[in-house]
Structure 1
Amino acid sequence: MKCTIAGLATLAVAASLPLVATSTQAAESARPAAYELQGDAGGSKFEGIGADPGRGRFYVSEVTGGEIHRGTAMDARTEQWLGGDGTDGRFTARGITTDAAGRVYVAGGPNGIGTGRPDLWVYSPEGDLLAALRAPGENVFLNDVAIGPDGAAYFTNSNAPQVYRVALEAGEWTVTRWADASGTIEQRAGFNLGGIVLSDDGSAFVVAQGNVGALWRFDLATARVTRVETGDAALTDADGLVLQGARLTVVRNFARMIATLQLAGDGRSAALVEQQASDPTRVLTTAKVLRGRMLYVDSKFDEAVAVGPYEVVTDPLAR
């Protein structure tokens, strides 16, 4: 009798396995290939994206107005999560990311230049404003943001070779100039520092300087800056960076290319793996991984007056 019961149990488990696999495959195929963003009647342009894997959410920043949009992994349609056009002093928004607690950090780009308005914001997962801060300096263009191993957020400045640190300390949110590479990184015309990722071993940030096609390593222990050795890899227009283990994806916006490099664990060097042409009808700015899939922002930067559909896409390549 015991053997019979065991045999029946084994058969029951075996019979159930294909159903589980089929269910998983069905769920994966049900995920949208693109996510629709809610644009304004006069045209909208977008730039940054942040992912909250634990909650299955992603956030997209709108350049035109500063609205923040939110979506989920399984729903093709997003919502406007935070208002713009002056909400919390925000009229434009750029890079965006989340921390382990689900807090959302938003870079303001030129929002505070000559206006006295905030340069960045921090929100709770529920959308409550936690901080609206001005960074030290008068010509600060906060472009992108990443979370460090200390839990603080680090923002790049496109108008100077600087990185700012934002943290909650002694119950107050503070922003300080963490690194200044003025003696090492030459400031050029156009957008300089942009995309930022933490190296795989957590020892440094790797930052893109898109106008010259360079990657820079900011050591976390010393704030010392050195150039990442990338050989002859073409990286002009490098914008968003995504690191998955040793695999570094570089989104080259107006070059309309996606570069893949193998990045050393400490971020000191990177070897080109491949360059692929991205969709010529889109200018992709950056990307984030959400539950195993890369999500790319279609900025609409190539359109004088943007026209929908406005989308976050999972397939960035030329067709």
Structure 2
Amino acid sequence: MRTSRIAALAGLAGIAASATLSVTALGTGTAANAAEGRPTGYLLEGDPSAQGGSKFEGIGVDQESGTFYVSEVTGGEIQRGSADRAQAEEWLAGDGTDGRYTARGITVDDEGRIYIAGGPNGTGNDRPDLWVYSPEGELLAALRVPDNDAFLNDVAIGPDGAAYFTNSNDPTIIRVAEGTDGWEATEWADGSSLITREEGFNLGGIVLSTDGSAFVVAQGNTGRLWRFSVATGEVSAIDTDGADLRNADGLVRKGRDLAVIRNFDKQIVHLELNRSATSADHISSRATDPDRVFTTGKLLDGRMLLVDSHFDEQTAQGPYEIVTARMPR
């Protein structure tokens, strides 16, 4: 039985002060949110610290319905929330449900189907590496990938409608789509010609370029961004104008603006990409809340929804939250 920990919204700290990233703090409210009747932040269900606590990582959004999904690392539960409700709820159970003991990145396609990366869930065993669900929660696919050492980290939908998963172990990208013989996971790109596997997390956050010609992929342990051509899968380095991107985790793009979330460095870096993502200008690097470790985010109704992971706590302490922020400009 999971325990919902509901904290009072008033007074909860977000990211404040003009010197840091402008974030709508839980409980403070903004005129824009008030006018549209939206909460300024969202509470997640989670285990109390006496039961080990809960840690979170990925978030996916359905732009049409205003629904968002959040993954729990500690157990693999999936939470579901709505843009107009302050409290999210457990949507999919974990602890072995559909073979899922942990979950990482999430995305949603145009049909509302939810794709979930399993991180190390299938590493060295026969468990699934990823899952696909219908909006109603029906399991559509639970798949293994060709590499038994894969750590599927994040996922984005490509121009072809398929889902593309990054691998934090080897510099590969896995393509997942429904074919004539059912759902399939195949290795789509291998970047080992330029990207060396190093200790720590390799490929992580992934977004499409502005013109849809390439995927922009973060490599957190080296602080680099890589461009994978949609047409060929060929990899090339992105010139990031000297920006420090160590511990780059989630990526959020709006137009040519790219927010790079540096989790344990507690910063968000604003880059301005060119349309084909061959290079980027470094616009700013701003501190985030020193008491939070943000892993990733997604845009919903013009706001970034940032996952407060609790990764810096040996035993996570609630409340568990999604914090809203403006996209840096």
State the TM-score, normalized to the length of structure 1: 0.90
In structure 2, which of residues 59, 76, 81 is the aligned counterpart of residue 49 of structure 1?
59
Alpha-carbon offset, residue 80 of structure 1 = 0.2
1:63 aligns with 2:95: no
- Distance in structure 2 (CA, Å) of the matches to 1:310 and 1:257: 20
Q: Equivalent residue for 1:73?
A: 83
In structure 1, which of residues 99, 102, 107 is the aligned counterpart of residue 109 of structure 2?
99
- Distance in structure 2 (CA, Å) of the matches to 1:57 and 1:26: 17
1:28-47 maps to which residues of 2 (within 5 A)? 28=35, 30-41=37-48, 42=51, 43-47=53-57
Please provide the CA RMSD for this pair: 1.4
Q: Deviations over 1:188-245 (max 9, x none)?
A: 1100100000111111100000111000000011111000011211111100001100
1:300 aligns with 2:307: no
Amino acid at match of 2:45: Q
1:139 aligns with 2:129: no
Runs (4+) of structure 1 exceeding 2 A deviation are 24-30
Q: Equivalent residue for 2:23?
A: none
Amino acid at match of 1:160: D
Alpha-carbon offset, residue 28 of structure 1 = 3.6
Amino acid at match of 2:91: W
- Distance in structure 2 (CA, Å) of the matches to 1:291 and 1:125: 19
Structure ID, larger Rg: 1
1:167-182 maps to which residues of 2 (within 5 A)? 167-170=177-180, 172-182=182-192
- Distance in structure 2 (CA, Å) of the matches to 1:25 and 1:139: 46
- Distance in structure 2 (CA, Å) of the matches to 1:272 and 1:126: 41
Gaps of 5+ in 2: 1-30
1:205 aligns with 2:215: yes
Q: Deviations over 1:53-108 (max 9, x none)?
A: 10110000000000000000010000000000000000000000000000000000
Alpha-carbon offset, residue 171 of structure 1 = 5.1
User: In the alignment, is the contact (CA less than 8 A) between 1:259 and 1:275 conserved in 2?
Assistant: yes
In structure 2, which of residues 255, 259, 269 is the aligned counterpart of residue 249 of structure 1?
259
Gaps of 5+ in 1: 1-23
1:263 aligns with 2:273: yes
CA 277–85 in structure 1, closer or farther in 2 if over 3 Å, else same: same
- Distance in structure 2 (CA, Å) of the matches to 1:107 and 1:57: 18
Q: Deviations over 1:257-308 (max 9, x none)?
A: 0000001110100111111100000000000001111100000000000010
Alpha-carbon offset, residue 316 of structure 1 = 8.5
User: In the alignment, is the contact (CA less than 8 A) between 2:33 and 2:40 conserved in 1?
Assistant: no
SS at match of 1:109: coil
User: In the alignment, is the contact (CA less than 8 A) between 1:33 and 1:313 conserved in 2?
Assistant: yes
User: In the alignment, is the contact (CA less than 8 A) between 1:279 and 1:316 conserved in 2?
Assistant: no
Greater helix fraction, Structure 1 or Structure 2: 1
- Distance in structure 1 (CA, Å) of the matches to 2:282 and 2:54: 34
1:157 aligns with 2:155: no
